[in-house]
Amino acid sequence: MNVIKAKDRLELEKKIPQMPWYVEKFMNYKLPDLSPSSLLEYARDYEAFFGWMLAEGLAEGASRIQDIPITALEKLHMESIDHFKMFLSMRKTQANTRTTISRKLSSLRSLFHYLSQIAEDENFYPLLKRNVMAKVEIKRTHKPKDTAAKLEGKLLQEAEISEFIDYIKAGYGQDVSNNKQATYAYEINKTRDVCIVSLILNSGLRVSEVVNLNIEDVDMKKKLLYVFRKGKNDETFKTPVYFRQDAVDELTRYMELRAATYKAPKREKALFLAVANGKKEGERMTKRAIQEMVVKYAKRFGKPYLSVHKLRHSFATDYYLRNDLYRTQEQLGHASPETTQIYAHLTDKTMSEAIDKQKDGTEG
């Protein structure tokens, strides 16, 4: 079972009763098509919006989010939505980026569309008589070319991929040799950490997909991993994803010492384990632990901007240079080829630099 989805489902089940009845109706409508993780994002967006409505006195005397009547939504003006956008962008803590604001507005538009165009009362009239969100223009905040521009210079190029893996194998240990605590933790987890980074850089897995991997999800002979793909709501099907030969040795080493190093009980099927402070048995690594692990090595390596997701981007750019758009889309699990076009823009620059280097080498 997808552990992240299971956790998100539990949180979603706690949040839904705290929402107005019409939001719960919308969630039930979306449930067959969206994963618990996606619905939880909707719930968080609505929580922020309805909380803002209460604070602004736009909820007709309601004191709790679940008590906000649907008529309060009908009375919202365009000016109210503008104020909400300003609230999201200006708040002192957890200020939102333009991309996040657009996503939150899209969540609202989905709810308002459902209430005004799909859901009906007992007389077959729309539940929402007036839809202010239909007037709201949500500008696209990032095009593939823009995303590519932001990533330029922040990814590992061909030679750097192996250099980063080699650094985790030995270089980091030399850099922290004077720190006994860091050295101790490094020696215990080095093989595991190398394996995780190598696997991402040789398959393009998302961090959530790495977290959810179980031992039986690895087929060493076929060089396949079976993962729960983002956006897929079928929890009975795992998508096969290939990994390169370069990751085979690291996976083999880690799996040979997994049980002895992390002393996991037999019932623990997770591939990647960690022993939490105060505990004796290993358990599934968390998403945050993997993210922090990558950042730790990246800073010492001299690339503090590297993250798990940028490792995925690094693989994708390298993979796209050797394959086509369709194969890259399949390997990464993108729902739309438009997302994959990021790497087309990134490789334009990579190819031009490679040609220049070749020219410099031949004419020297």
- Exactly one of 104, 312, 313, 345 is catalytic; which is it? 312
| Mean of pLDDT over the chain | 87
Q: What is the pLDDT of residues 230-255, one digit of tens each?
A: 766 556 688 999 999 999 999 999 99
Q: Which residue in the list 230, 287, 296, 349 is annotated as catalytic? A: 230
Place of tokens 């109706």: 25
Separation CA 134–CA 121 (nearest Å): 20
Tens digits of residue pLDDT in 18-74: 999 999 999 999 988 787 888 999 999 999 999 999 999 999 889 999 999 999 999
For the question of residue 230 being annotated catalytic, the response is yes
Q: Is 77 a catalytic residue?
A: no
pLDDT at 137 over 60: yes
Q: Enter the tokens of residue 98.
A: 């333009």
312 is catalytic: yes
Using DSSP, state whether 63 is helix, strand or coil: coil
Q: DSSP letter string over 165-232?
A: HHIIIIIHHHHTTT-HHHHHHHHHHHHHHHHHHHHHHTT---HHHHHH-BGGGEETTTTEEEE--TT-
Check if 334 is active-site: yes
With bands split at pLDDT 50, 70 and 90, how would you rate the model's confidence at 363?
Answer: very low
Question: Is residue 229 flagged as an active site residue?
Answer: no
Candidates 15, 104, 206, 229; catalytic one: 206
Question: Is the pTM value of this prediction over 0.85?
Answer: no
Tokens of residue 124, six digits: 């077959």
Known catalytic residue at 313: no
Residue type, 324: D
Please report, for residues 11, 196, 220, 274, the alpha-carbon distance to residue 204 in angstroms, rounded to integers and kept in the order given: 28, 11, 17, 22
